[in-house]
Amino acid sequence: MSVQDAHILVIDDAPEDIRSLLQALRAQSWRVTLATTAQQGYQRAQLLAPDLILMDVRMPGMDGFALCRQLQELPRVRHIPILFLTSAASIEERLEGLSHGGVDYILKGCEPAELLARVQIHLRLATRADASVPSVQDATAPGQDEVILHAAMRLIGRCLSEPLTLEQIASAVGTYDKRLSAIFRQRLGMTVFAWIREERLRKSRQLLVDTELGMQEIAENIGFRSACNFTTAFRERLGVTPSQYRRAARQGAPVDADTVGA
């Protein structure tokens, strides 16, 4: 890909609001494709694998942050730079967008020259990285249920200390609670919250072995209210206390209730 021949996908449910920005993009030698819904943007990103994506944040159904999470689970798309477009200027929303994988945040009211300059910068950066990105055939593309599953798992893994509801998780990955529940049951054979519990305990085992954190710190890090609640859940699941697990693991011994002693 060269910067001059780049293909840019713009995803915005109100393209009339960014008419001047679209005109500026089309005045260049770039190919510009427009999607007016998040679902259409998902499909066109997967099909066309553009060189850069300009994405609105606030869209009905699935917002830009949720769409970004889904795109990051597509092997053919995850390396593509995503620039968020928004009319909101709050620092909280900007930081949220950057934390979700966006490489830049552009206000819709900006001058077209600023947009072009930022797009050119990220196209040049993407061109330099192109050689290190392996080509991925379409046959390897996962279905959307699998994309949603892995996006939810990744989100949960990053937010273990937060008391997320099923509705919040589903919305954050671009779906609704019943569909997300069905996906977890069909793909993993467990509920969303059963998986969260397993992930919390998996993370706790890592922290017990790899850090010197105390039980209260570990409990807070993985979303338990107290060290007592954490210890009870750990012992019920593994048959040993966290302290016993840490001691045995560091001694190189097998870690189970029989060898450690409950």
pLDDT tens for each residue of 112-140: 999 999 999 999 888 766 545 555 555 46
pLDDT tens for each residue of 165-193: 999 999 999 999 999 999 999 999 999 99
**Structural domains present in the chain:** 7-139 (3.40.50.2300), 144-260 (1.10.10.60)
Name residues whose C-beta falls within 8 Å of residue 27's C-beta, 6 or more positions apart in sequence.
none
Which of 97-111, 127-141, 238-252 has the highest average model confidence (pLDDT)? 238-252
Distance CA 42, CA 171 (A): 16
Q: What per-residue confidence (pLDDT) applies to 135?
A: 54
Residues in the chain: 262
Confidence of residue 261 (pLDDT cuts 50, 70, 90): very low
Q: What per-residue confidence (pLDDT) applies to 89?
A: 64
Alpha-carbon dihedral 97, 102, 108, 111, rounded to 10 degrees = 130
Confidence of residue 259 (pLDDT cuts 50, 70, 90): very low
| Strands ordered across the beta sheet of 82-86 | 31-35, 7-11, 52-56, 82-86, 104-107
Q: What per-residue confidence (pLDDT) applies to 1?
A: 61
Residue 83's φ and ψ, nearest 5 degrees, are: -110, 125
What is the pTM for the complete model shown? 0.80
Distance CA 140, CA 54 (A): 25
